[in-house]
Chains A and B, each alone.
Chain A
Amino acid sequence: MKVLVAVKRVVDFNVKVRVKADGTGVDTANVKFSMNPFDEIAVEEALRQKEAGKVTEVVAVSLGVAQCQETIRTALAMGADRGIHVQTETELQPLAVAKLLKALADKEQPGLIILGKQAIDDDANQTGQMLAALLGWGQGTFASKLVLADGRATVTREVDGGLETVDLALPAVVTTDLRLNEPRYASLPNIMKARKKPIETLAPADLGVDVAPRLITVKVDEPTKRKSGVKVKSVAELVDKLRNEAKVIP
């Protein structure tokens, strides 16, 4: 069975982003970009399923600007077999991404598609669910465990207040939560090997997809900052302040 894994190039999670002075967006000039952390978990899961003999090929897909090739190379260095890059300068919103991935799925016919549950830039948490809908497949979102057997996927999901398990007919879409696995680091020999692995490059038009944004950004603001308060000297003083000044405890 072939697995498609979608990997997004995002501002590295250690970067403290700043809103541009003109309010048009956040400043991404000269900041470090990396693979979306949830997508690293998706790549790792696909590789572990391959190592367990459940999967035969892992294809890493990234959509967007030319530098997305680096993100695909990272996936290849982790162990993915080949890459597909749909190159565009247009801002891609989740619905457009889902449509592009659907077109690729129609072409590649994977048995499973794994994505991160959300990207840490737009925090939308939409693409996997949208892709499953467009393909008419079942979805196992926010997965903390994935078992593939007998043409079905059993997915344990992290939900508010606990865990939930669903059983899906394959093909299906799975989105990853943090505790699914711990992604590996690419070794130097594997990074070298990844340079020789093939990456196919396509344009959205090749896939017949209209990627025009549906949401218009009106403005981007800094959130209001919380002011730091006072230091108290003792537990007794803390309790007194919470009781009598803030009045948040009885």
Chain B
Amino acid sequence: MTALVLVEHDRIKPLPATLAAVTAAARLGGEVHLLVAGSGCRPVAEAAAKVAGVTKVLLADDARYAEPLAEPLAALLVGLAKGYAALLAPATTFGKNVMPRVAALLDVAQISDIVAVVGADTFVRPIYAGNALVTVKSTDAIKIVTVRATAFEPAKAEGGAAPIEATATATDPGLARFVGRQEAKTERPELTSARVIVSGGRGMGSGANFKLIEAVADKLGAAVGASRAAVDAGFVPNDLQVGQTGKIVAPDLYLAVGISGAIQHLAGMKDSKVIAAINKDEEAPIFQVADYGLVADLFQALPELAAELSK
């Protein structure tokens, strides 16, 4: 009963969401192996081998895995699936893209976005934007699972000493070609792994006003987020969107500014350790989930907050 976790990496090390998937894999009760696929990604395998609780790292180092295309990665995983009780990946856009393809090729169901492991074949996952939690039992011989990173503590990046084994590669079906990537440029931490997030909503009024949010975020070393309303209004790009249709986050502190608290936004941040909200409407639903609420005009409160944090 061994589980294999597909590693999402930045060519240097596994990303934090993968470490959370390792924790979920360990809860299945057996050994945990990691699969590192990439081109020139030996350093990733070496970092993966140190992850606590991992007993083996498979390394598929080949030009065909230079970019994270679903088609060749799925073919690789299908070739390795035999002998594993479960294949897991983080429920990031990377894992969501690859794993259903693997599941279909193996003729099994996928259990998406799990938030708890009940047993080796039983998992809890959110449905209806997190308004309900379903416990499902898989009847398939092999479990294909994606893991919601915010629901599991990341495995420790140090402490393990797993052997690294080069693995046979699979033929690239040649269906897709990678053209390019436009990374959102930011000096700030990534939303899904930030310890503090400051988010703005429609109440910000314009994209230019987000500099008030950024000033506070800079003081806190925080990531900047936004509600769907702010994205739809064109204030900020979509990769800042927190919510059911954007990113799911769970920082230590989530500061929501000018965000009313629509169901779809709450679905993306309600697992934050502490939620603070600033809104001029004291009836705003955000206050029903906020640990600390301040009814105030954000255009006064944000500069004041930045000043207070400098003290």
Contact = CB atoms under 8 A, between A and B. Distances in A.
Indicate whether A and B interact: yes
Contacts of A215: 109, 111, 136-139
Interface string A130-141: 111110111111
Interface in B200-247: 220, 238-239, 244-245, 247
B117 interface: no
B128 A235 contact: no
Nearest to A96: B109
Contact of B175 (A172, A223, A229): A172
A144 B238 CA distance: 10
Given A26-B128, A144-B238, 4 more contacts: A94-B100, A215-B137, A216-B137, A235-B308
Interface string B228-269: 000000000011000011010000110000000001100000
Given A161-B183, A226-B270, A246-B292, A133 B132 contact: no
Contacts of A218: 118, 122, 135-137
Contacts of B138: 214-216
Give the interface residue-count category, chain A. Answer: 35 or more
A214 B131 contact: no
Nearest to B289: A226
Given A139-B70, A215-B136, A166 B179 contact: yes
A98 B104 contact: yes
Interface in B99-144: 99-105, 107-113, 118, 122, 125-140
Contact of B112 (A123, A128, A237, A238): A123
A159 B105 CA distance: 23
Interface stretch (A11-19, A43-51, A55-63, A105-113): A11-19
Contact of A239 (B102, B196, B305): B305
Interface of A: 11, 13, 16-17, 19, 26, 93-95, 98, 120-134, 136-142, 144, 154, 157-169, 172, 178-179, 214-223, 226, 228-239, 241-242, 246, 248-249
Contact of B181 (A163, A222, A235): A163
B305 A235 contact: yes
B82 interface: no
A229 B290 contact: yes
Given A122-B127, A133-B74, A138 B132 contact: no
19 contacts: A11-B128, A26-B127, A95-B104, A123-B127, A130-B100, A132-B101, A133-B105, A141-B93, A142-B96, A158-B238, A160-B192, A162-B239, A164-B181, A169-B174, A219-B134, A229-B292, A235-B305, A239-B308, A242-B292
